[in-house]
Amino acid sequence: MAKFIYGVDIGGTSVKMGFFDQEGQVLEKWEIPTRRENSGEEILPDIARSIQAKNTEKGISIEDILGIGMGVPGPITEDGRVLKCVNLGWGIFSVAEKVRELTGVEKVKVGNDANVAALGEQWRGGGRGFDSIVMVTLGTGVGGGVVLNGKILTGANGAAGEIGHLPVKAGESRVCGCGKKGCLEQYSSATGLMRKARELVENTDKPSMMRDYEQLTGKEIFAAYEAGDALAGEVVEEFAEFLGLGLAQVAQVLDPQAFVIGGGISKNGPVVTDVIKDRYAKNVMFALQGTEFRLAELGNDAGMYGAVKMVLG
C-alpha cells in the first residue's frame, strides 16, 4: 500500500506542515502557531497532535507513514540532536527521538532549517538538475546551506554553510551580531542594503529616487538601481561586491555546480543574480568561471520539501 510523508518546517512564529505522497508530491499543506512559551515545550507535542489529526482525517494510521522530516532553526547534529535553539527556547536534546516517542513513527529526520531549505531547492526548486549546490538566503541576515551529491553537509559543529559570517572586509569597526567584524551579512543582507542606502541619503546631497520613497527597503533600492539611479548604484555596488567576494571564497573551497539565491532580496529577480555573477567572476580562478547562478523557486515551502527529501534519502 502507498505510504505518506510529513514535511515539517519549524519557524519562530509558525510551523509549516506538508502531507506528501511517497513520490514526493505535496497533497496538502497548512500551518500551526509556534508556541514558544515555557521553553517551547509544547512545540513538538503540537506537531504530533496535528499529524495525528491529519491521519484521522485521512483515515490512515501510523503504519502508513514512511517518515517525518523536520527543519529546525538552530544547529543540529547529524543524528538529530539540537544544540540549543534560542529562537524556540530549546536547550540540548534529541529532537528525532522526542518526535519518535510522540508519534510512534520510526523514521524521523531532523536538520537545520537553512540546510533543509537548501536540500528542498536542490531537489524541486531553483537547483533542480544539479547534484551539488550552495543555497544563499538573502534576508534580514545572510544564510547558507550546502548540498553535495544530493545530501546536506552538516559540518562537525553543525556550522557548515554559515556563509553570512564569512570574513569579507578587513578593518571594519562595526560589530556583527556574531561578535566578529566584517562579516558578509553586514553588507549583503537587507539590513546591510538599507543601512548603506540611509547613510548615502542622509550624508550626501546627491539627487536620488531613493529620497522619494516613504519606506526604503531592498525592493525600492533595486527598483531605483534598475531605473539608473546613481546613488542606488552605489548601494547595490557594495552589496554585490562583498557577495561576489564571499561566493568566490565558497567556490574556491567547494566548487559547487550552482549557487541558488533565495530570501527576500532574491524576489527582485534576475538583476540580483546578474550583479552577483559579475563580481563573483572577478574573484575566482579560471576553472570556476562557469559556476551557474539560479534564483530560488520554492519560497517558504523550500524547508517542507527538503524535510521530505531527507526522509526519501
Q: Which C-beta is closer to a second copy: that of 218 or that of 244? A: 244
Q: Which C-beta is closer to a second copy: that of 41 or that of 255? A: 255
**Contacts with a second copy, residue ranges (CB under 8 A):** 75, 132, 146, 148, 153-163, 165-167, 169-170, 178-180, 245, 248-257, 282-288, 290-291
In b/e form, how buried is each residue of 63-91, taking b as 16+ CB within 10 angstroms?
A: eebbbbbbbbbbbbbeebbbeebebbebe
Q: Which C-beta is closer to a second copy: that of 124 or that of 279? A: 279
Contacts 24+ apart (CB under 8 A), 88-92: 88/10, 88/12, 88/34, 88/36, 88/40, 88/43, 89/36, 89/37, 89/38, 89/39, 89/40, 90/39, 90/40, 90/43, 91/39
The residues pairing with 8 across neighbouring beta strands, listed in sequence order, are 17, 70
Contacts of 72 (CB under 8 A, 6+ apart): 10, 82, 85, 88, 95, 110, 111, 112, 113
How far is the C-alpha of 234 from the C-alpha of 225, rounded, in Å?
Answer: 9
Q: Which C-beta is closer to a second copy: that of 17 or that of 95? A: 95
Which three cell numbers mark 37?
A: 512559551
Q: Which C-beta is closer to a second copy: that of 229 or that of 234? A: 234
Q: Which C-beta is closer to a second copy: that of 56 or that of 157? A: 157
Block residue for cell numbers 555596488: 237
Cβ at position 162, least distance to a second copy in Å: 5
Cβ at position 264, least distance to a second copy in Å: 22
Cβ at position 134, least distance to a second copy in Å: 8
Cβ at position 106, least distance to a second copy in Å: 24
Cβ at position 82, least distance to a second copy in Å: 13
Cβ at position 118, least distance to a second copy in Å: 13
Give the Cα-Cα-Cα angle 255, 257, 262 (nearest 5 degrees).
Answer: 105
